Structure 1
Amino acid sequence: MYAPILEIDTKKVTENAGKLHAFCDQRGVELTFVTKGFSARPEVIRAALAGGITSFADSRLKNIRAAKQAIPGLKYLLIRIPAIMEAEDVVRWADWSLQSQIEVIKAVSEAALRQGKIHPIILMIDVGDLREGVFGRAQLDEIAPQIKDCAGVELVGLGTNVGCYGSVLPSVENTAVLVELRDYLHKKYGFSISVLSAGGTCALKLLEDGSMPAGINQLRVGEAVLYGEDTTGNRFLEGYHQDAFRFKAQVVELRRKPSVPIGELGRDGKGDTPEYPDRGVRLRAICAAGKQDVAWAALTPMLPGAEMIGASSDHLIVDVEDCGRQVQVGDWLTFRCGYMAVLDATTSAYVDVQIWED
């Protein structure tokens, strides 16, 4: 087979899931497993279920629908603010959803009433990462009474997101905002809020340190379960598998070449102007996979001495000068995957996904 391969070891996913689920459960926090990073493949969801996880989340309604059809009875949270035109499907497929915009909330409320339901929502609060969410007390006071007027939704929680856009790290201070605003909304508007959702893998550090503010009872986590990694916090999680996902690509060219391109330089295929350190003439392996298949910067070669150089749309370029002549044309190079690598590989039509247990 010539196509690149993504290998998924479901046994390792189960072990990571079991370890993290137990850790969170002991601290009174529900672990909601985010499935978007692997396109909600049922085999991986079943692995998480085997580890004790019962709550799931995804940003794509298509993923949620497919997962629920494959595994009936799943509880799913929609974690991307939906478009107004998606309101009917939000109510039909998501058990609850993150929300931040009153126009969308009104559409979801109306859809819920048409379907004879009350749809639970978590209102997102922007604490500084500057992605989705109500920003500041004035915006909260503007939206809160309007939510009360939406008969088809119930405000059951507050949530926040950090680390994804602005690279803001979770802290005691920005997480405690949820607790403060829960109490404020109860006192001023009479809301009874039971869920405080403090974000993703990067928030685990607060739980580990014992500094998570009291009242926070949900974490939306994907990366820690899948890869044993906290990219925002720049760390691997001790005792977790980091290689449950491995990308394999075949070597189609092996040649010694200079490490700096020759000639007047413009922009690369993405429009960027990369820099090329001069390391002299090096042995370079070109593999039959590229940016159309995988996020190359989230790949780490597993062969000792190999080093990622870069990629074009169709080719990965790997420095194998220090590999002791172990690489031959036709060999398969194996790479440990980070989050974005699997996200791309599971959505590419050109990558063969293989499920197995080590």
Structure 2
Amino acid sequence: MAYPLLDIDLDKIEHNARVIVELCSAHGIRVSGVTKVVCGHPAVAAAMLRGGVAGLADSRIENIRRMRAAGIDTTFMLLRLPALSRVDEVSDCVDISLNSELETLQALSASALRRGKVHDMILMIDLGDLREGVWPDHAVERAKALVPLPGIRLQGIGTNLACFGGLMPTHANMLSLVELAGEIERACEIDLTWISGINSSGLNLLVEEGMPERVNHARIGEAILLGRETTERSPWPNTYQDAFILQAEVIELKRKPSAFAGEHCEDAFGGHPHFVDHGNILHALVNVGRQDVAVEGITPQEALTVIGASSDYLGLDVSALAGRIEIGDILSFNLNYAALLAAMTSAYVEKRCVRGRLFDDRVLYA
């Protein structure tokens, strides 16, 4: 087995998906499972579908193509606003896309017509997170301009919160989205199918019964894959947080000082490392580094301390394992969202899908 290695527990992902889908279904909300952090990994996508998600959503056309090529048969949503230069690809392989720019929609309309298709879309509204979407004051005007476009069908409106700017989903801003949907329906004389209001940051609002009834679609990734809501990164009840485990091999093991004497300069990444002098420690290097993972987002499963990292190495104080650790041993790490994204994207991290570990309950949060 080659290391670094990312173990992916498909049963735990399926379980988490089922928990989230059941919660959302109880509030009349359908879930699209978001696969962007796993780069559209087909086995992960299939696990989400087994867990009950109604479709899949990704920000990259390449990932959607990867899943389609692997035989994943479902509705695919493109999360990132389409680039004007790629509208033909969008109309070719995406069922529904999120949009805000009229120029892009006009090009998408022409592309869909050339292919004899009608492309479904959701108009994104920026409620203050300052990511994608038209400002609420311009939403009706934009809807009126796009509804007549041939080859385009306005299926709903949506918003993104707690991602770019960290704006919390609340009853007030969700109600604003619902009210905008009503204004658009009246102005354009249409019925909107979807009000796509939440991602993993909106789960607490559901539990607190603060979600307006018309919000009926969610785009959920982290809560399914890592078992966490995203306002405080708290574990979600009855989900697993260790569906993904990073493993790396010990390639150097020596007694070394915990700090050094001499002049300090920037490290290779422009940082200024600070080392606390604890005397001599048992120092290990493992074969994973910043080219493989967001080092600040990994946590050793053993009682070890991360000292620092370079492109290729992670340095650890492994004194707690003195007498029990050797060259060639494998150390395991939990990951946060940023670390998972980097590890899945890295060509240097092997990926291994496993099943049958569902009854290892040590990180099932109750």
Indicate the TM-score class for this superposition, using the shorter chain for normalisation: over 0.9
Please name the residue that 1:294 is paired with: 293
1:165 to 1:284, Cα distance in 2 relative to 1, 3 A = farther
Is 1:117 aligned to 2:95, yes or no? no
The 3-state SS of whatever aligns with 1:121 is strand
Task: Tell me which residue corresponds to 1:97.
Answer: 97
SS of residue in 2 equivalent to 1:313: coil
1:193 aligns with: 192
| Alignment partner of 1:351 out of 346, 349, 359 | 349
Q: Which residue of 1 aligns with 2:3?
A: 3
Distance 1:326 1:202 in 2: 41
* 2:52 paired with 1:52: yes
Which of structure 1's runs of 4+ aligned residues deviate more than 6 A?
none
CA 1:193–1:309 in 2, change beyond 3 Å: closer, same or farther? Answer: farther
Query: Partner of 2:132 in structure 1?
Result: 132
**Structure 2 length-normalised TM:** 0.91
Deviation readout 1:176-215 (Å, 9 max, x if unpaired): 2210110111122323212111131111111111111221
Instruction: Go from structure 1 to structure 2 and tell me whether the alpha carbon gap of 1:120 and 1:279 turns closer, same or farther (over 3 Å shift).
Output: farther
The SS at the match of 1:205 is helix
The equivalent of 2:242 in structure 1 is 243
> Could you say what the CA RMSD is over the residues aligned between the two structures, in angstroms?
1.9
**Match in the other structure for 1:163:** 162
* CA pair 148-307 structure 1, distance change in 2 beyond 3 A: same
* CA shift in 2, pair 1:49/1:255, >3 Å: same
Tell me, yes or no, if the aligned pair for 2:222 and 2:228 is still in contact at 8 Å. yes
Letter of the 1:109 counterpart: S
Between 253-262 and 157-166, report the one with greater CA deviation. 253-262
Moved more, 74-83 or 283-292: 283-292
Equivalent in the alignment of 1:314:
312
Deviation at residue 265 of structure 1 after TM alignment: 3.2
AA at the equivalent of 1:132: E
- Give structure 1 stretches of 5+ with no counterpart: none
1:43–1:355 contact (8 Å) kept in structure 2: yes
Counterparts of 1:315 and 1:243 in 2: how far apart (Å)? 23
Contact 1:297 1:310 in 2 (8 A): no
Q: Is the contact between residue 34 and residue 221 of structure 2 (CA under 8 Å) also seen in structure 1?
A: yes
Alignment-mate amino acid for residue 50 of structure 2 = A
Give me the whole-angstrom Cα distance separating, in 2, the residues matched to 1:211 and 1:324: 52
Look up the match of 2:177: 178
Give, in whole Å, the separation in 2 of the partners of 1:237 and 1:335.
Answer: 20
Tell me the secondary structure at the aligned position of residue 198 of structure 1.
strand
**Contact 1:2 1:250 survives alignment (8 Å):** no
3-state SS of paired residue (2:163)? coil
Distance 1:212 1:276 in 2: 47
Offset of residue 308 of structure 1? 2.7
| 1-structure distance, mates of 2:326, 2:276 | 25
Number of corresponding residues: 356
Identical amino acids, percent of aligned pairs? 39
